Structure 1
Amino acid sequence: MGVSTLETILIDDAEYLHGSDDGPPRKTSEDIIQSRAQNGFACREIPVKETKKVFRSEDENGYKMVNQYVHLGKIGSGSYGKVVLYRNIKDGKLYAVKVLNKPYMMKIRVVRSETAMTDVLREVSIMKMLNHPNIVNLVEVIDDPNIDKFYMVLEYVEGKMVCDNGLEEATARNYLRDIISGLMYLHSHNVIHGDIKPDNLLVTSTGNVKIGDFSVSQVFEDDDDMLWRSPGTPVFTAPECCQGSAYHGRASDTWAVGVTLYCMISGQYPFLGDTLQETYDKIANDPVQIPDDMNPQLADLLQRLLCKDPGDRITLQAAAEHPWVAGDKGPVPEFFCRCGFGRRKRNDFREEVQ
């Protein structure tokens, strides 16, 4: 989690949620999601399955099972749990299952008023709303009150992360178009991802990118995307988030897209110090280093994405139309979802720019 001092700090957003003396209290992400569901704003035709009972067994080969899922092995780990590959015996498909320990999560304070389990439940609530080809799909949640484990059954992306080393421009462009498409969809639905980085951008076997890990994501109301809690991962943190004060979520996500693009092209971070504080100092003060032989259009895009001033930083919508992003395919197309909420937000944006 990005912070403004040498060590991780807890930011108490209670005062921020309380609102000003002149206005009503600020709604939480959970309140906004519940209100949106009650008003029929849902992108999914098939809702996320919710299971309240866990049955443990073994298949005919001795592999452990949780309900209809056969345990095949650990494929990753996160801050609070592990990711395990399971096969569903009913449809034969593979799924990535995030396995979390509820008692442990409830002991971890992420801010004074919330635990890590609060983050998990928020992540589930957000993912229940989403349906986009460039976003990892949540299939089922298994939460048995009689056991300590909490299971999030996700679609399995069998490919890789967007970059291990530098990529060819054409590949980086294709990946970036998918990232922008998925993130524009999120922002049009008032969702801030908060942790855009290569680790959370998975490439399918067909070369499409899917955005995953919504563990620090937030939902905002109307057009107020002001947040307090420090986002994501330090080297992807925007300059305005290094100060420990409020920041605009959409602009900080856009900065992280710029850092990700820089990593995809160069295989390196644009700002990295020997310590956390030095990294933040570089993010806030150092100019981005652009090689002299870089494609001028790409260099221009990076400069605009990695603009220190969030007010002058290029927006995602403008980035979607940037000449380097458009290439031979044209601007990144809009995604038309079945809910009215995202469509209404897109129309609002068109009126603003006209």
Structure 2
Amino acid sequence: MINEYVHVRKIGAGSYGKVVLYRSSLDGKHYAIKAFHKSHLSKLRVAPSETAMTDVRREVLIMKMLQHPNIVNLIEVIDDPNSDHFYMVLEYVEGKWDNDGFGQPGAIGESMARKYLRDIVSGLMYLHGHNVVHGDIKPDNLLVAPSGTVKIGDFSVSQVFEDDNDVLRRSPGTPVFTAPECCLGLTYGGKAADTWAVGVTLYYMIIGQYPFLGETLQDTYDKIVNNSLVFPDAMNPELRNLLEGLLCKDPTRRLTLNDVAKHTWVLGDNGPIPQYLCWCKRDRLRRDNTTQDSN
């Protein structure tokens, strides 16, 4: 038991710790709690000047900024200075994708894929609008609520910027969703890389296979950089056009999320994607970062 939270069962593992389902004895609701050992995080180096603890603290600071219907909500952080344990209490979203009999495992059909994509784009536009790069968009990090709403989760490799300069060097995301420019070991734009990952996700939702997948990591990277996209002959031309724009190997010519939101296939019969006003607490983030730097 952690404070008022009663252990139910382990439901998964995060980048640096386990994820456990708990039930609150106060409201009876279920919550997903990410549990870490601070001593382990502090010893695990992820960059010359950063440890895993840096990543976890950054994840917390970013999630504290956010409130959006398509983003998993951070409820609270439990960090007792006299204990080695560190807990992130998160909104619990149980749902998984269901292919509903469409094609290969993972394929969910155009109608459902459009609905899911609209939710993903809405949440990611909110993030990018507040200079947050997710860094690991993929089906495993896109959770489906009982209402059918898709929520973006797992901000363990996300980055936040003070301005529109989103240049990154480290690409810690999942290889098969990695943008071509990230495979070359050079600096890259984080927002454009997120958009590529959305394209890979949409391709997977429609076809049930990844567009570029090799037998080894290097083979996968080579295919991402060099191979052409392959589409079924019978694919909807508007959908093909969207995928070609999302999966454009040149990041300067790749569709932006604003372009995606206006695309005819995305609009369908549903109209514009909902936009949400800023609720993110950037001033609080700056204060918290200053406090962290001084400790």
Normalising by structure 2, what TM-score? 0.91
- Quickly say closer, same or farther: Cα 1:103–1:338, change in 2 above 3 A: closer
Equivalent residue for 1:92, pick from 18, 23, 28: 28
- Aligned 1:219-238 pairs, distance under 5 A: 219-238=160-179
Partner amino acid, structure 1, of 2:224: I
Q: Equivalent of 2:106, from 165, 172, 175? A: 165
CA offset digits 1:168-214 (Å, max 9, x no partner)? 11000000000000000000000000000000000001100000000
Aligned to 1:66: 2
CA deviations on 1:274-326 (whole Å, 9 max, x unpaired) are: 00000000000101111111111111100000000000000000100100100
Q: Which structure has the bigger radius of gyration?
A: 1
Separation in 2 of the partners of 1:233 and 1:162?
Answer: 22
The 2-side partners of 1:223 and 1:136 are apart by 24
In the alignment, which residue of structure 2 is the partner of 1:18?
none
Whether 1:261 aligns to 2:197 is no
Q: Aligned pair 1:151/2:90, yes or no?
A: no
Task: Please give the alpha-carbon distance, in whole angstroms, between the structure 2 residues aligned to 1:198 and 1:226.
Answer: 25
Q: Deviations over 1:15-70 (max 9, x none)?
A: xxxxxxxxxxxxxxxxxxxxxxxxxxxxxxxxxxxxxxxxxxxxxxxxxx111000
Match of 2:260 among 319, 325, 332: 319
Q: Which amino acid aligns with 2:218?
A: Q
User: What is the CA-CA distance between 1:161 and the residue it aligns to?
Assistant: 4.3
CA RMSD of aligned residues (A): 1.3
Structure 1 residues 340 and 129 mapped into 2: Cα distance closer, same or farther (>3 Å)? closer
Residues of 2 paired with 1:331 and 1:258: CA distance? 19
| Counterpart-to-counterpart distance in 1, 2:228 and 2:247 | 9
The equivalent position to 1:138 in structure 2, one of 74, 78, 84, is 74
Count how many residue pairs are aligned between Structure 1 and Structure 2.
277
d(CA) in 1 for partners of 2:6, 2:281: 38
CA distance in 1: counterparts of 2:149 and 2:33, whole angstroms: 21
Residues 180-219 of structure 1 correspond to what in structure 2 (within 5 A)? 180-219=121-160
Q: Contact 1:162/1:264 (CA < 8 Å) preserved in 2?
A: no
For 1:76, what is the secondary structure of its paired residue? strand
Sequence identity, in percent?
69
1:144, distance to aligned residue in structure 2 (A) = 1.1
* 1:149 counterpart letter in structure 2: H
CA separation in 2, counterparts of 1:122 and 1:263?
A: 30
Cα–Cα, structure 1 residues 340 and 82, in superposed 2: closer, same or farther, change >3 Å? closer
Kept in 1, the 8 Å contact 2:74–2:89? The answer is yes
One-letter code aligned to 2:43: K
Moved more, 332-341 or 76-85: 332-341
- Alignment partner of 1:104 is 2:64: no
Query: Structure 1: any 5+ residue segments left out of the alignment?
Result: 1-64, 342-354
8 Å Cα contact 2:130/2:280 also seen in 1: no
**What does residue 298 of structure 1 align with?**
239
Q: What is the deviation of 1:333?
A: 2.4
1:127 to 50, 57, 63: 63
Distance in 2, Cα, partners of 1:161 & 1:152: 24
Contact 2:65 2:280 in 1 (8 A): no
Offset at residue 231 of structure 1 (A) = 3.5
- Choose 77-86 or 249-258, whichever is displaced more: 77-86
CA contact (8 A) 1:162 1:198 kept: no
C-alpha distance in structure 2 between counterparts of 1:109 and 1:253, whole Å: 24
Cα deviation digits, residues 141-172 of structure 1 (max 9, x gap): 00112222111000000211476521111000
In structure 2, stretches of 5+ residues that fail to align are 100-104, 283-295
Give the whole-Å Cα distance in 1 for the aligned partners of 2:64 and 2:181.
30
Seen in structure 2, the aligned counterparts of structure 1 residues 310 and 326 have a Cα distance that, compared at 3 Å, is same
Match in the other structure for 2:289: none
- Matched letter for residue 329 of structure 1: N
Q: Which amino acid aligns with 1:145?
A: P
TM-score normalized with structure 1 length: 0.76
1:277 alignment partner in structure 2: 218
